[in-house]
Structure formats: structure tokens, C-alpha cells
């Protein structure tokens, strides 16, 4: 196939792809997104991008369809792409229950399987930001967007609560590639501007909040994550044969949730994650 059909040559190595897919397939991301209302990211991004009927939309790192399903409900012709096939299968079921149709295509954010300029709008919500080669991701988002089209992203910020969350998990997960910048750099406006460069005619960025709530105390919040969210499940699995490290992780995770709780100590628990909403216009 030509480069136009397959994207760049910077896709994830097979062993890395398998490891990433295995981690994100753990748990129940669809339940996680639904019960913590992570779907609010999708609603905000669809509204900010002005997505509607007559547009062809690609959502990259789509997961179970937080953005893609909302875009389809707005009337757009939508393709959802992700490397984690099991999450997309769950998204297909969710879309069917909501009575909307869209395409689900396995794809690597660093080497998207689409042609140049295929889409009017290209989105990603806390998805593409986790690919290690950030410049390759930016290049691909731009490549598959038509001239004059819109690129919209929602990325957690490097100085917000997500940094503390991943700071707890990091020591218990496989280390990233040594030359990979932190995923949360996508939440820095200056960094995103550098990645897109002069290939966009405009770029607007605004900080917003994702609010996660559970009815009970912080321990219930932690337990919910342990049942549903792949990286947390993977972190605990890594210490299942080491009672001391398991106790450390339990304590650190509960301390994080307790200290970050903006709700009541006895519930409901409320955590506020800052994210950067980016809207860029590809140069015509």
C-alpha cells in the first residue's frame, strides 16, 4: 500500500501495540465512562467543534466512543478508530443501544489507516495523547484532515490532577520509551502549537474541568477504578505477588483520592481533572 493509504511508517511496534492493547482491555471502560460521565468530554468536544450533519468525522483513540457516538448523534458520518479492539466492540454495543450507526476501524494514532484529507473534522479525547511519538500523532491528525478542516482535542494538563493520578500509577506500570515525552504535554498549549506548527491557520485553547463523582467515600472511588479502569487494574496486577508493594499502592491510591476529594469525606466523592480543549484549523 502507499503512504497515503497507510499513514506514516511510525506505527507502534507489534510488541508495544500488544502491551498497550492488553492494558486498556482490562476492566470495563464502557462502564467507567458511563458511570463517571467521562462522556461529558465527548459532548463538550462535539459542541466546540460544531459537528453536525453533512460532516465526515474521525475520532482517534476513540475507546468506547465517548466522542464518536456523540458526533454520530449530532448527524455526522463518523469513523471511530482505536488500537484496543475490545473497547471498540463495547462502543459498538453502546451505539446500537442508542440507535446510531458509525464505523469502527482498528488504527494506530501514529500511522492512521486513512487517506490524505479524508475528514472534515478530526477529534481525540484523552486518547491520541497516550501514543509515544507525539510528533507522528500530530502529523497524522493533520494529514487525514482536509484543508480548512478542524482538529479538536481534549487533553489532560501537565499541572492538574491527572499528573498526580498518573504519578501514583507510574512506578507500578511498565516504563515508557526513554525518548517519549510525557503524555500530559498534550495539555500544554505551547507544546501543541509547536507540534502543529505553521500547518494550522488558527489554534484556540481553553482549560476546562472533567468532574468525576461516586456516591460514597474515596475508598469507593478507588474500588470503582480497580474494577473498571485498565491502567489501574494493570498496576495492581503488577504487585499481586508482592503483599508489601500491594499495600503501598493501596495506601498511595487512597491517599490520592482522599486528598483530591472536593466533595464530602463520607461521600459523595468528587474529583476535578483539568483538561485543555484545543481547536485548530488546518491551513487551506
In a domain, 61, yes or no: yes
pLDDT in tens, 154-206: 999 999 999 999 999 999 998 888 888 999 999 999 999 999 999 999 999 99
In a domain, 105, yes or no: yes
Of residues 142, 109, 184, 138, the one with CA closest to residue 281: 142
Residue count of the chain, please give it. Answer: 284
Q: Are 169 and 231 in contact (CB under 8 A)?
A: yes
Model pTM score: 0.93
pLDDT in tens, 227-273: 999 999 999 999 999 999 999 999 999 999 999 999 999 999 999 99
18 CB-near residues (< 8 Å, 6+ apart): none
pLDDT in tens, 50-75: 999 999 999 999 999 999 999 999 99
Give the 3-state secondary structure of 106-134: ECECCECCCCCCCEEEEEEECCHHHCCCH
Of residues 230, 223, 128, 226, the one with CA closest to residue 173: 230
In a domain, 253, yes or no: no
27 CB-near residues (< 8 Å, 6+ apart): 227, 228, 229, 230, 232, 233
In a domain, 58, yes or no: yes
Number of structural domains in the chain:
1
Q: What is the CATH number of the domain that holds 69?
A: 3.40.50.150
For residue 17, the enclosing domain spans 3-158+175-210+275-282
In a domain, 236, yes or no: no
In a domain, 269, yes or no: no
In a domain, 34, yes or no: yes
Q: Is 179 exposed, middle or buried (0-12, 13-18, 19+ CB in 10 A)?
A: exposed
Confidence of residue 17 (pLDDT cuts 50, 70, 90): confident
Confidence of residue 12 (pLDDT cuts 50, 70, 90): confident
In a domain, 258, yes or no: no
Amino acid at each position: 500500500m502507499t503512504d497515503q493509504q497507510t499513514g506514516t511508517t511510525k506505527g507502534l511496534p507489534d510488541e508495544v501495540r500488544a502491551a498497550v492493547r492488553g492494558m486498556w482491555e482490562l476492566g470495563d471502560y464502557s462502564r467507567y465512562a458511563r458511570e463517571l460521565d467521562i462522556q461529558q468530554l465527548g459532548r463538550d468536544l462535539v459542541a466546540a467543534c460544531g459537528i453536525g450533519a453533512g460532516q465526515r468525522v474521525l475520532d482517534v483513540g476513540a475507546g468506547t466512543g465517548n466522542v464518536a457516538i456523540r458526533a454520530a448523534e449530532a448527524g455526522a458520518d463518523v469513523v471511530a478508530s482505536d488500537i484496543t479492539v475490545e473497547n471498540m466492540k463495547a462502543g459498538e454495543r453502546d451505539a446500537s443501544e442508542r440507535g446510531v450507526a458509525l464505523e469502527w476501524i482498528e488504527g494506530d494514532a501514529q500511522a492512521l489507516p486513512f487517506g490524505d484529507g479524508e475528514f472534515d473534522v478530526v477529534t481525540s479525547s484523552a486518547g491520541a495523547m497516550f501514543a509515544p511519538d507525539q510528533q507522528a500523532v500530530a502529523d497524522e491528525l493533520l494529514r487525514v484532515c482536509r484543508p480548512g478542516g478542524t482538529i479538536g482535542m481534549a487533553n489532560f494538563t501537565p499541572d492538574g490532577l491527572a499528573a498526580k493520578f498518573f504519578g501514583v500509577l507510574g512506578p507500578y506500570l511498565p516504563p515508557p520509551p526513554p525518548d517519549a515525552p510525557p503524555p500530559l504535554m498534550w495539555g500544554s498549549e505551547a507544546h501543541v502549537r509547536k507540534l502543529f506548527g505553521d500547518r494550522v491557520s488558527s489554534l484556540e485553547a481553553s482549560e476546562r474541568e472533567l468532574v468525576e463523582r461516586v456516591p460514597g467515600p474515596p475508598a469507593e472511588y478507588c474500588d470503582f477504578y480497580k474494577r473498571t479502569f485498565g491502567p489501574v487494574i494493570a498496576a495492581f496486577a503488577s504487585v499481586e505477588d508482592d503483599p508489601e508493594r500491594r499495600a503501598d499502592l493501596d495506601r498511595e491510591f487512597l491517599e490520592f483520592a482522599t486528598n483530591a476529594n472536593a466533595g464530602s469525606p463520607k461521600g459523595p466523592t468528587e474529583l476535578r481533572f483539568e483538561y485543555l480543549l484545543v481547536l485548530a484549523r488546518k491551513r487551506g
